[in-house]
Amino acid sequence: MKRLILTSAAGADLAKSKLAEIVVLFFFRFTWGPLPSSDYFAAYFGAQSGTLRPGDHWSDWGTKWPPKFKELRKLPFADFCERYDEIELWFDPSPDDQLQLIWLLDYLASYSELLKKLRLRLLAFDLFDVRDQVSEASASHIPMVDVQARELRTARMAWQAYRAPTPEACANLLCSDLSALLMLRPALQELLAELPSSSTGLGATEMRFLELLSRGFANTNALFHLRSQRRTYVFGEFDLGSLLEGLALGPKPAVAGLGDELRTIDHGNLRARHEVYLRSRLSLTEFGKAVLAHQEDFSRYNPIDRWWGGTHLTNDRLWRYGAVLTKP
């Protein structure tokens, strides 16, 4: 039986496990920036035309393709999948993985012949944390279910809600039965927590930064990489850097000590920016302490301009989330 595994960047080491003929990776970060358009996705999943930029086709990322796949990887994604008897989906509980799962299921739902082959692994661990530990023996202990109408319906509903221009549909999903995709509800709760708070104007990760700084974690390395201390899992390292810069480099900073030269260093110059992060020693400003105590609202004094799914958050369109979702 020929098997194909579809997974996120966190599952890159599954290619070493011999569990499938090939592992196809998806590297999207749907938790930061505007979502790609429908036209972009159509080209991404289509045939390799030679006119796409590197990284804009499904076969461009991650996998080291054996020579026999030279022509096959040029196929539309659905045609490539048809070659396999079984297609396993390996996506862990992280919000980023769960978003990629519902996006992929929403796409695959249009291909009835492929649906008969889809199997979903019910992962209760982060793929990145186990890396080289997944084998045929250990995989046999990971539950697997067929992807049926219930899973597809839940995925489509959730993906459409996340793409919507307001977060209302996503908040309403928490009142729905999401049990077809067991890790989706916790992921949505984490995502909604990153909307600005009704009292501080900051999301969960930004507030956690302030809490860590108040306890003496003065290095960016601690903020970015001590996940067990930070306890928020929505954003990647580059996204965390952008959040920190927003806290430290605005008109009324909540954080002091971040290198001011970050204002002028090109965002593509990762080495130079990393060096500034490493030598920065951070602390809370008096304003930051007031925000941490829920006595000040960060968004009253500083610009907000970021994306949450299909929602563009700005000072004029600041959806807030606490006990309930609050409209601008």
CA torsion 41-43-45-48 (nearest 10°) is -150
Query: Looking at residue 38, what DSSP letter applies?
Result: H
| Residue 205, C-beta contacts closer than 8 angstroms, at least 6 positions apart | 194, 230, 232, 234, 235, 240, 243
Residue 90 in any domain: the answer is yes
Mean pLDDT of 46-60: 92
Mean pLDDT of 139-166: 95
CB 88 within 8 A of CB 20: yes
Domain span holding position 122: 3-185
pLDDT for 173: 97
pLDDT for 137: 66
Residue 286 in any domain: the answer is yes
Domain count, the chain: 2
Q: Which two tokens stand for residue 152?
A: 């597809």
CA distances from 34 to 42, 164, 167, 299, 327 (A): 17, 12, 14, 21, 20
Mean pLDDT of 276-305: 97
Region of residue 110 (phi > 0: left; psi between -120 and 50: alpha; otherwise: beta):
alpha
138 band by pLDDT with thresholds 50, 70 and 90: confident
pLDDT at 200 over 70: yes
Residue 194 in any domain: the answer is no
CB 274 within 8 A of CB 267: no
pLDDT above 90 coverage of the chain, percent: 84
Backbone angles phi, psi at 92, to 5 degrees: -85, 180
pLDDT for 131: 66
295 band by pLDDT with thresholds 50, 70 and 90: very high
Question: Which residue, 155, 185, 215, sits at the end of a domain?
Answer: 185
Q: Which two tokens stand for residue 271?
A: 């080495």
**Calpha distance 251→92 (Å, rounded):** 39
pLDDT for 164: 98
Residue 319 in any domain: the answer is no
Residue 224 in any domain: the answer is yes
Q: Which two tokens stand for residue 1?
A: 């039986």
pLDDT at 4 over 80: yes
CB 193 within 8 A of CB 321: yes
pLDDT at 140 over 90: no
Q: Which two tokens stand for residue 129?
A: 């944390």
pLDDT at 5 over 80: yes
Q: Which domain CATH number covers 77?
A: 3.40.50
Residues 105 and 172 in one domain: yes
- Collapse the DSSP code of 321 into the 3-class scheme (helix H, G, I; strand E, B; otherwise coil) and give the result: strand
pLDDT for 132: 66
pLDDT for 15: 84
Report the predicted TM-score, pTM, of the whole model to 2 decimal places.
Answer: 0.94
pLDDT at 62 over 80: no
The string of DSSP letters for 206-273 reads: HHHHHHHHHTT--SHHHHHH-HHHH---S--HHHHHHHHHHHHSSSS-SEE-S-GGGGTS-TT-HHHH
